[in-house]
Structure 1
Amino acid sequence: MSDTKLPGGLEMTTFKLEKGKTYQDFIEANADVETWLKKQPGFRSRYIARQPDGTIIDALVWDSETDGTNAMHRLMKELADSPVHDVIDQRTVSWNIYPVYHQI
């Protein structure tokens, strides 16, 4: 396995939804986030999945770890009033960004 980093960063966030909120509520509450993401430097793509226990997996691909980290900090300030925050159980959020070492 190579220790050489490739260009790119993989952001992985997992969380549960607030009680009474559905996966569809979460998707709909993301409209402003998705518009905002498309304008961020280094943004490549986003994938949202759901585990059988209801945990949401929100994966983003960035040009670099720095791009992803900077965007996360801006999102919390610039979209502080986004409806998406009311759908997420904030106590369950786990956010990480990782360097990319292999890609095909």
Structure 2
Amino acid sequence: MTQAIEITTFKLAGYSCAEFAEANAELDDWLRQQPGFQSRRMAEQPDGTIVDMLLWDSVAKGTASMHRLMDEMRYSPVHSMIDQETVSWNIAPVRHHIKR
């Protein structure tokens, strides 16, 4: 099975990255329970763009979880913290991987 990387980028709607990360506690717990979930990293670029990267067991598992998230977590306050017009979501299979 090929791992997959999910990368979502967006701007926040008047919130800091720290506020957004704190508001993600419930979503993080939900992610930990999803089949195929491996890890999540969030970063902020100098222009304020948030880069949210998740590692999954496969593209199929990551995509299925994204669809469940939009249903099961639709009332999460994190959605209103995001400028929805700036969202870019992509998921792709890992083609090269090295470890330390």
- The TM-score with structure 1 as length reference comes to 0.91
**Matched-pair contact (CA < 8 Å) for 1:29–1:87:** no
Shift of 1:61: 0.2
- Tell me, yes or no, if structure 1 residue 98 matches structure 2 residue 92: yes
Shift of 1:48: 0.2
- 5+ residue gaps, structure 2, are none
Structure 1: distance between partners of 2:16 and 2:97: 33
Structure 1: distance between partners of 2:87 and 2:52: 11
Shift of 1:25: 1.4
Given residue 79 of structure 1, which amino acid in structure 2 is its aligned partner?
A: M
Higher strand share: 2
Quote the residue 2:47 is aligned against: 53
From 27, 31, 38, the equivalent of 1:33 is 27
From 75, 80, 83, the equivalent of 2:74 is 80
Residues paired across the two proteins, number: 98
Quote the residue 1:7 is aligned against: 2
User: What is the RMSD computed on CA atoms of the aligned residues?
Assistant: 0.9
- The TM-score with structure 2 as length reference comes to 0.95
- 5+ residue gaps, structure 1, are 1-5
Structure 2: distance between partners of 1:82 and 1:35: 12
Larger radius of gyration: 1
Structure 2: distance between partners of 1:97 and 1:71: 12
Given residue 41 of structure 1, which amino acid in structure 2 is its aligned partner?
A: P
Quote the residue 1:22 is aligned against: 16
Give the 4+ runs in structure 1 shifted more than 2 A.
Answer: none
Structure 1: distance between partners of 2:80 and 2:19: 10
